[in-house]
Structure 1
Amino acid sequence: MEDSASCSSTVDGLPRESFLARTLARLSSTQCLNVSAEGAAPVAVVALQRYLSEKSEGLDSYSYDVTVTDGVWRAKCLVHPSLNGLVHSNSLRTGGDIDITQCSFVYDERVLGHGYICVEKLRCGAERSALLSRVKDVGALPMLVRRGMECSAALRSDAPLQVSRKHYLSLWNNDDPEGDIWTSGFSKITLLCSLESCFRKTWKPLPLLVKIIHKSRLRYYGKFELKIDYPYQAYFEVADQSGTMSLVLWNELCPEFYQSLSVGTVLYIQNYTLKQSYSNRSHPSEPQCIAGLNVISPCVCFQEICLNPRNPISFLTLIFKVADLPFYIFNSVRGG
């Protein structure tokens, strides 16, 4: 069995003997790739996902992938078109138990190392799975894939098993977003309080979504021997719900953004750098910093955010400009 199946992620101490692993091992050793599961054990339906079929099957132009678990492994399988009626009647649904009585293994020669289990016959069991109630975290269970097909499974983790389709549809309509491809980029951000841990680290910090709470005057530092076209800098204090921090706008970015940035502006910041904060620089008083903001910690002063025109090129997106923006509105925007 260890030669026939492997996991796409390793969980220490997880027993390898299971109904799904045993079934995949049998499918790997049979010539017809079609077996009747003897002594079938119930598996729980973790997810049921719909997408447009590669071939229209009568009046039904949709295919379904089902993700099941036996409490040891998870497996994403194709639902045979003859079983689509069970989905339409809501007999096959998420959260219930099923008994897989016949299945096959399908190789897709259009993609190297791509194949999947097709569930051809099943019996619907309990509507509320007793198995799922005993699993603490279904997402922590490893995904069962055939050995040599791990890369394909990882790349298509949020894509239909049939390779001509790239995305899933909502189960009951075509209008609602479905799957991780619809995740807003604003959800992949970091908080100011987390920046200290990545200071002087080699990995690139995640974007920030912050609100300007103080704006300094423009500072000119030009000298005769200094070969800089726009020797300006401007300091800002910015905040999210985790704290406040200084932000420095450098050189060419000053004429481009300084006039547009004001107290209340919300910024989405990418490709910034961090440096040690200048210890002798004056900061605005605490009441001025956090007036109207329900921040957890009053100030993060050890580092400052630097926005540069090059090395690296920083990117700023102005979300909106409101002078007196209630923080609860800011939080709703931050949630993406």
Structure 2
Amino acid sequence: MAVNLERHFNFSEIQHLKHNIERSERLHQAQAEHLCFVLRVERYIADPTFQSLVKSKHATNTSYDVYDLVITDGKFKLKCVLWTALNAFISKGRVVAGSVIKLTKCTLLYDETDLNGFNFVLIEDLTVDGTDINFSVNEERIPWSPDACTREQKQVPLASSRGCYVSLWSSFETYGEVWEQTVPDSQSVSDTTVLDCYTLKELSRLGRSIKASSIPPVIVRVLTRSRLRQYAKPQKAEKWPYQISMVIGDRSGSCTAVVWNSLCTKFNKNIQEGSVLLLENYSVKPHFSVYTYANQTKVIKGSHYDIDLNLNPYNPECKVTIIHASAVESCWQLPSLEYELIDRKQLGRLPDNFICDIVGLVIFLGRYERVAPQTTDSLGRRETFWVIRDVELVDPSFVYTGKTFVIKLFRSIQADTLDRLCPGDMLLCSNMRVVHNLTLVSNSRQKRHVYLTCTGETQVTIIQKSRSTLDHPVVNQLITWASSSRGSAVVRAATYGGYFSYPPLPKDLQLYKQLWPENRAMQITQSDQWESVLQSLSYRESRNLIVQADIVRICHHSLKYVHYRRTSEPKMLVDMEFREEVKFQHPDYMSDNGTVLGSTELYSESLPCKFSPHGREHILSQATFPPSVYSSGLRRAQGASPALAIKPSFSYESVTLMGLNHPVMLHTVFLHSELSLHSRFINVISNNARSRAQSHGNEDSASWRCLCHIDLHQLDTGRTEIILNMAYLLT
């Protein structure tokens, strides 16, 4: 039920906020606390403008992210800047659109180079009062505070020269209305324009000898296009640091075209693979784009020319016309958009890093996880995040081989498509890269855990079974199979969510060491740093933790659903029977000294759920992140529905680790899908440790020293999932 803001806030808070801050600073008085409601949380990349505005109050600032908050008391609203030292409030999901916060310390900063007196509120300290109240708020009806400047009222970063905000949770996704522009297709092209057009072959011959004032038009088809690339850096003041790379082709061959800067906002949604473009006023330069592809023969049937067509918003201003399919003439002889579709049987025979297209039926849909790149920025930080989800697809060969496509999809390629993906959907993925993980392969008979990952040019499409526009034998075969009884049975067994790790780690320590080449040494975290690592996790962040520790306790847990009770609500209440059995316990486990981290509990969010057509809304709600803009009645889905549990019973081990030098214990959870895997882990550890202890004559105090690979994930609920992926006994 929505609650009116009038019952919670003082209507004089926002209207006089700037005045009260300035007065308290001038008189050197303690600031009054201000209670307010967060309407918006928006992010942008720091730049020199931000550095110059805040340096008068804060001599040093090396942050990558800056956040603007739009706050209200119900009567007026105001846009403020959050001091970067408080970024953890946002990155950990503690302050979101819809939070109630109390401002305890603020500063009013002026732009001393602006004669109009531009100023803004810098929030230097705050406390969170709550996020669970569903307030009835319509932001559009709340006026701006009388002293809000013009820039505050625009949809642009407040303390920066950037042209737009970026996604709140991913460093590589678009955000805001500026990216929603649509350009209508042209229904016709004049005969004069067509006659004036050059081919790409002719352009390559003339090269830079063409005068900018007489560049001829070209008509081309987009064969592949990259995701939108952002190259903003804190030390560079670029308003539109964006780029889109494409391979374009005509009857004579193909070349690369690059869309730059603000032109990307206009055409990011409108130019797709297969689009036919009329390009005018572009510039021709030698090939220097970042576009790369491992298998050129996939998209290039003729010659590929070593030139770039640069489409700029100025000097010169490029004119791009998207030609409607009905206006495309066959006499132009444009290359068709083709797919090199493979089936699952062919995948194992393809070389490493091969670029291919696949199509399949979704049988597993992993959760979204935020992963920091392996490399850091120039300041050594890891503030940028990819948003990734694992997906399993099958094709008709699954019935005979039992093999699936395991793919890792990055949300930045097409967030709107991935957000509405569900088990049972047919998914077409183009320009995927094959990964064999050959480091661990020593002979041809050894099992290879092959998977596919995205490239910068990957495109994903959900195929409608009843009206597919792609006429390809592989697609038609999949549609027929998916509609059969066998295909339907596979979909009924589909799952989503929960902990998922692929490819599996090697079982041998020496093979595990091969995963770490000389230029990327294994990073073993010391026990005195375990707590800080857990505390540093951001919202939905996944990270690996490698530790050397003693196993001091192993406990077997079993959970069984014994009764389902239907209620009037969509979900059911479940009665559960819980048992635990200690398999091993070292005397040091009972010590009260030191820090205890983690939990022996297996969280429901770590378990996959069985797919049901009635649970489609639950799946889609789990795909969403806390929004940047508050909407009344919009609540975050947390956890998994017990009614959708994959099995009526399951078991797991809790494994407790102890640091070698520091009195700190870490509880981890070891999951096993098969009894053999469970037995192997317990027996190998216990048998080796017991034989070693017997040789020393003291079995009860056996020390099980292991190298442990742990998977961490920060859940929506604020709890940390700590999964023991693999433990290697050290002798």
Which band: TM-score by shorter chain?
Answer: 0.3 to 0.5
Normalised by the length of structure 1, the TM-score is 0.47
Normalised by the length of structure 2, the TM-score is 0.23
